[in-house]
Amino acid sequence: MKICLATRNLHKIEEIKQQSPTIEWNSLDEIECEEELPETYTTIAENSAQKALFVWNNYQENCLADDSGLEVEALNGKPGVDSAHYSGERDADKNIDLLLKNLSPFSNKKARFVTILTLVIDGKTHQFEGEVKGNIINEKKGIKGFGYDPIFVPENHTLSFAEMTLEQKNSLSHRSMAVKKLNEFLKNNGL
């Protein structure tokens, strides 16, 4: 079975493909989807579903969409659904700088990454959630990963996501938790 991976984020594609090597993945380019996928809702779950259903409704392709966010406790769950453009731009360094500035008055650095994967198979929608708790550190560490990875250290670890190998990150990340649930679902349903 072919499933379109409804993202242009090469890092997400790499993470998902590594954990689901038995699935035959299509890209948005392969299905000739040139449009920007919509993300107009106020929750991660709704945006994930919106992207997946956009591909299904417009291209009749089974697909998997991901939406993720960083929720910081002291900032009342911000940046959350706005994580990718928290600074007003899709710029990871600017987003990190703004987050660290806004968090600087607080001693509570607890945060969690959340991912919602939406799978649409033959028009039926299924969602899988993953989360990882951790803390925000005051300066960037590491050069791997993407987004907020350089300032997020998972609970019971000393390395930021950006200091970990892809294998280390995939053993405990929010996305990997959701992908494990996805793989279980596909296996249990003979897909």
CATH code for the domain of 71 = 3.90.950.10
Residue 135: give the domain boundaries.
2-188
Please state the domain count of the chain.
1
Find, among 123, 128, 152, 126, the residue nearest to 139 by Cα.
Answer: 152
Q: How confident is the model over 35-90, as pLDDT tens digits?
A: 999 999 999 999 999 999 999 999 999 999 999 999 999 999 999 999 999 999 99
DSSP lists the bridge partners of residue 119 as 64, 126
For 122, the token pair is 């033959």
Which active-site residues does the annotation give?
A: 67
Element spanning 11, H or E: helix 10-19
In whole angstroms, give the CA distance from residue 117 to residue 136.
24
In whole angstroms, give the CA distance from residue 97 to residue 46.
27
The answer to whether the beta carbons of residues 191 and 183 sit under 8 Å apart is no
Q: How confident is the model over 118-146, as pLDDT tens digits?
A: 999 999 999 999 999 999 999 999 999 89
